[in-house]
Amino acid sequence: MNRTRWIFVGILAVVLLIVGVSLALRAGQSGGATDSGLTLERPEAVTVRVLTALPVSEWVQNAADSFNAEDHQIEGASIHIEVIAMDGLTALGRWDRNEFGALDSDTRPEHPTAEQQAALDKFPTVWIPDSRYLVELANVSYKERLGRDVFLTDGEYRARPVAISLFTWGIYQSRAEVLEKSLGTISWRTIHDAAITKGGWPDLGGKPEWGYFKLVVPNPQKNVGGLAAMIAAAGEYYGRTNITVADLTAPDFQKWLKELMGAVTDFSSASAYTAEDFALFGYSVGDGGQLLESDLLQNMQGILTRWDDPLTLYYPQYITWFDFPYTVWMGPETTALEKNAALEFERYLLGEAQQKKALAYGLRPANPNVPVDATPESLFVKWKDHGVEFVVPRSDAMRSPDREVLLTLLRWFELNVAN
């Protein structure tokens, strides 16, 4: 063997000796166990926090209770669903002000401060707002600040409706009969004419003890439905589905809207649950108004029991739809495991079993395989003789308002109605 080969063999022996000593030392330090540093640790449980709009919160909470009891798992970890009920407009404001504690673009999620960690421990994994346009508005705000989307419109994690409802007229039957006879088809213009009738109900053909026509509309400062109702009124006033800031600031429209809103008994005392107030306090709250169909259906029994005068539902030409999109947060504030666990609960909500249960809350299924009369417990079946439509008549869907339209309408309300 020549000198070059001896040198090569010597170097190889040294390398093997170093590797052997290194492995021996590591085995000694670990007591002979296999190195666990190469194995990714998984938590035993993962929590999915679901920020949920008020109209679907009870249904989502009951579904979460069932889901949790069934012990669903992902990659060996038990999934726990936590539901936080919050009005969509309130949630949008908190997203805009970053009150949930999203990390700055230059902050590494592996090294948060104590304050940031406390916020992350309660950070929403999912948002189910009233309508898709709220998601779009929140995403624009974060994209400007972080330079990326946090809510997606396509792909596996896209926002997807889990239930549907719409704004419709609910009017006490005794009052509805008089309005139709004196003013014609129920509409915002009909309601406006009733609101400004100087002699009140007697001039409309109603009873003197009814006083003046009283409108029921959710308080826009407490319930996103109040804004939706006023946008629908603007749609009918202008005869189109797209409303602009210029439309809202036009003097003639503002005069008309103020006369209309003047028929509301008292916005300041109304809660966020307007239909519930309607059922509890009856005619003192109002004679009728435009509210979310699911809220009206849920309170129909209470109204009939207390007041012996059922509501009749009328579907407007210009309809505002709420699609309750299930929206997964896509930032580093939540782990990949949490995001995938969120998809498990989304599939659960969209399954036929939970979609059928939604019918008992007056919610229209987002799953096309489930009709509104799929179960005897369906409120659509229960109240079909009170104007409920299984299939909504041909109508014009109002387009989603942008941020400036919402802010303009809120400001008008604060200056002209709230005070």
pLDDT tens digit at each of 419 positions of the chain: 555 555 544 555 544 455 454 544 444 443 333 333 333 456 889 999 999 999 999 999 999 999 999 999 999 999 999 999 999 989 999 999 999 988 887 666 666 677 767 767 889 999 999 999 999 999 998 998 888 899 998 889 999 999 999 999 999 999 999 999 999 999 999 999 999 999 999 999 999 999 999 999 888 888 888 889 999 999 999 999 999 999 999 999 999 999 999 898 876 666 666 788 888 888 888 899 999 999 999 999 988 888 888 889 999 999 999 999 999 999 999 999 999 999 999 999 999 999 999 999 999 999 999 999 999 999 999 999 999 999 987 778 899 899 899 999 999 999 988 76
User: How far is it, in rounded angstroms, from Cα 323 to Cα 165?
Assistant: 7
Q: What is the CA radius of gyration of the chain?
A: 29
| Residues forming CATH 3.40.190.10 domain(s) in the chain | 45-162+324-350, 165-321+385-418
User: How far is it, in rounded angstroms, from Cα 394 to Cα 373?
Assistant: 20
Take residue 106 and report the two structure tokens written for it: 């230059």
Take residue 161 and report the two structure tokens written for it: 């409706």
Cβ(81)–Cβ(345) below 8 Å? yes
Choosing among 3.40.367.20, 3.30.365.10, 3.30.1490.20, 3.40.190.10, the CATH entry for 45-162+324-350 is: 3.40.190.10
Sheet harboring 45-52: ordered strands across?
Answer: 73-74, 77-85, 45-52, 126-128, 325-328, 160-161
CA end-to-end span of the chain: 103
Instruction: Give every CB contact of residue 47 below 8 A, 6+ residues apart in sequence.
Output: 80, 81, 82, 125, 338
Q: What is the greatest pairwise CA distance in the chain?
A: 123
Per CATH, which fold does 165-321+385-418 belong to? D-Maltodextrin-Binding Protein; domain 2 (3.40.190)
